[in-house]
Chain A
């Protein structure tokens, strides 16, 4: 077990240097495969129901490109900062890693704030969770993604707290790496939501 003082001796890929790290690395990629199916099912549900607005508002009545563009920009930037954090972890630069993970978390929180604002605005315009097939599918898909963002924020924050004591070693390195991987995955899903839900919703109109 590597103790805290021998930080200089980390191998080139510390997240995969131990058998346990390698297991986590493979297992997490597989887990993301399962998550892909999960989101694919939600996307399928949304595509099946997005025209079914019943008496409620539809995508064309609600979505505004400027708001979604800002959210997309924030989340994609957070992916970049998490890359910087992972690179800092690989080169064993503790302070830099914490800094970049910290910025990632802040960007995630900003995104979540916008999403909550967005949902509140839609509810004000008459789009409740139970309004129509469209509304249920919309909140399920986008809300589920939001829950993933929230989980990522909590996860990375926990790891940052743990890192203040344990720094970067062969046990913590896989955890940082996987949290970064998870964050990218959540961002990639957002790119699909941006396209399928928002762009198609605005361009395709829908609603009244």
Chain B
């Protein structure tokens, strides 16, 4: 039991249950999908650069538009957040690991499997083309086979997200170091905790929605078929009961990142910590109460619209509290303007602009005017790119040294910030006006002479700026990871929270001795007290670690096979026929689905029957800190 199973090379990554390595896997896969979604965005912008442009045409445009939204939200933004959460949360709460290392690995592989299923569609008769919201009857009666991939890809990756969320919740509830009370937790951990709670209560609704849509498409059920008594509005309710909290699942962790970065680079404790925590809780709660504001023009009547309008406006209150607390944190602080800090500071006015247009949209009579125009597109990109993407860049520059043990170039980083920041505003600011002038969303072209040319041209040029910023970031990564580049110290920013008290990158067991937490910003308190490092809460002793395992990967492969078989229902039978194999369409699909689910169930059985007790790292194997410790 004390002997560690060691794998090397690729096998090490395929079998890892180390939360830091899984975090890196999330970051790499998320970045890949971010590039994919970015290429799709560029194609959209090039198509709309000129009126009556025929660069890609309507059919391809629908697919690219749908995949851009779906990819960015499910396969880029959330996984990248999950990557940071995976690496950072256990470090911030002083834990050696997450609560379920196995489940954590499974969550990653399921997300990847779902992402691949979705993108396989490009080569199998076309990608989903009903928009990322997949409204019925567009997604049932008028779409190609692409929506099958949407339904099954999101179902598989959604399971991964759900178990990942539960893992974070239990980790934070149960794995905190001694003294780390809830009201001493860093804001990133807090906001991730609340976002994980939202995942727990929002994603099962999506699971049901996707299942019902799949039943309608594959088996011909009547959920969304008015001819048989079904109801198309039902889909919108189910989708937005998931979809609205999803917005907060994305933005709350970004709020947490901003809180950490602003406090660190203002060299001040976060202003109004308690108010920040409760504002975050309140936003999370209200996030579930406002889904109908996506449906004001559906015709639910003035009473429903009025109630949901007021609830939506109410969200501006806790959000305003957060904005002012960030400003008060900077007020009188010794602000350092490095890249992470610039992205965090740039976030504030940008996100406020997105919030203001959000309040505008929450007024039902006005919403009738804005609905389905580029004004909405501008609004949610200000929130999700100006909020979340800025937050993710801030997190990347802030935590990169901790995660990878290398410093990123500040010079390249500032170029990234300025090109991305200006590119962003040039892209999306004109879209407000395009929307007010009547340019509709989701349309692949527009007519000349309606005053839409200039705005679209500026918007496309801005998008090129964002692309340049993104490539500078990739270049920065390559440069910083070449031989001889600067190694990161344990605490490059003079940090305040526990992750900066251990070496960069952290050893596999994180903390040699569990830290004793004595207040908010523990490390800072210890530094102020003149201590070189955080006081340990326990004597040095053997450390228990979970064993690496390949089972999560195989469980995901099982669901991948099942999902792909169902998604390929229009395509697989032809392959068999061409190969001269006599098999009916349904047989092929059901055999594939059965085999896939069988593999997953057998893996579950194996996992259940063989208890793996992990291994111990003995005291004499624990590496000597040397000079890696924190210097106050």
A contact residues vs B (CB 8 Å cutoff):
1, 19, 22-23, 26-27, 30-31, 33-35, 37-38, 41-42, 44-45, 48-49, 52-54, 129-137, 140, 158-159, 162, 166, 171, 175
Contact = CB atoms under 8 A, between A and B. Distances in A.
A41 B223 contact: no
Given A54-B222, A54-B229, A135-B222, 7 more contacts: A23-B174, A30-B200, A52-B229, A130-B222, A130-B228, A136-B221, A140-B211
B162 interface: yes
A19 B175 CA distance: 9
B335 interface: no
On chain B, which size bracket covers the interface?
Answer: 35 or more
Contacts of B608: 158-159, 162, 175
B170 A27 contact: yes
A132 B220 CA distance: 10
B207 interface: yes
Contact of B229 (A19, A30, A133): A133
Contacts, number: 118
Interface in B172-227: 173-175, 200-205, 207-209, 211-212, 215, 219-223, 225, 227
A137 B100 contact: no
Contacts of B175: 23
A146 B96 CA distance: 40
Interface string B590-624: 00000000000000010011010100000000000
Given A30-B169, A30-B200, A19 B215 contact: no
B234 interface: yes
B241 A133 contact: no
Nearest to B202: A37
A34 B208 CA distance: 12
Given A27-B99, A34-B203, A136-B221, A131 B228 contact: yes
Given A27-B99, A33-B201, A45-B238, A133 B222 contact: yes
A79 to B, nearest CB: 23
Given A30-B200, A133-B229, A158 B234 contact: no
A53 B208 CA distance: 21
A44 B110 CA distance: 28
Q: Looking at chain A's contact residues, is the secondary structure mostly helix, strand, loop, or mixed?
A: helix
Contacts of A37: 200-202, 204-205
A8 B228 CA distance: 62
A135 to B, nearest CB: 7
B528 interface: no
29 contacts: A1-B1, A1-B613, A23-B175, A27-B166, A30-B166, A30-B170, A33-B200, A37-B201, A38-B207, A38-B208, A41-B204, A44-B237, A44-B238, A48-B234, A49-B223, A49-B231, A52-B229, A52-B231, A130-B219, A130-B220, A130-B228, A132-B229, A134-B229, A135-B222, A136-B212, A136-B215, A158-B608, A158-B609, A159-B608
Interface-central residue, B166, B203, B215, B229, by most chain A CB under 10 Å: B229
B575 to A, nearest CB: 27
Contacts of B302: none
A93 B208 CA distance: 40
Contacts of B162: 34
Contacts of B100: 23, 27
Given A30-B200, A37-B201, A38-B208, A23 B170 contact: yes
Nearest to A53: B229
B230 interface: yes
B223 A34 contact: no
A171 B208 CA distance: 33
Interface of B: 1, 99-100, 162, 166-167, 169-170, 173-175, 200-205, 207-209, 211-212, 215, 219-223, 225, 227-231, 234, 237-238, 241, 605, 608-609, 611, 613
Contact of B228 (A45, A132, A158, A175): A132
B99 A171 contact: no
Nearest to A38: B204
B230 A129 contact: no
Contacts of A1: 1, 613
Contacts of B220: 130
B204 A136 contact: no
A168 B619 CA distance: 32
B292 to A, nearest CB: 14
Contacts of B230: 49, 52, 133, 136
A35 B204 contact: yes
A34 B166 contact: yes
A43 to B, nearest CB: 10
A197 B394 CA distance: 51
A122 B222 CA distance: 17
A61 B100 CA distance: 49
Nearest to A1: B613
A48 B202 CA distance: 19
A161 B238 CA distance: 40
Contacts of B174: 19, 22-23, 26
A66 B203 CA distance: 37
Nearest to A165: B609
Contacts of B223: 45, 49, 133, 136-137, 140
B24 to A, nearest CB: 23
A194 to B, nearest CB: 20
A3 B63 CA distance: 58
A175 B611 CA distance: 11
A197 to B, nearest CB: 16
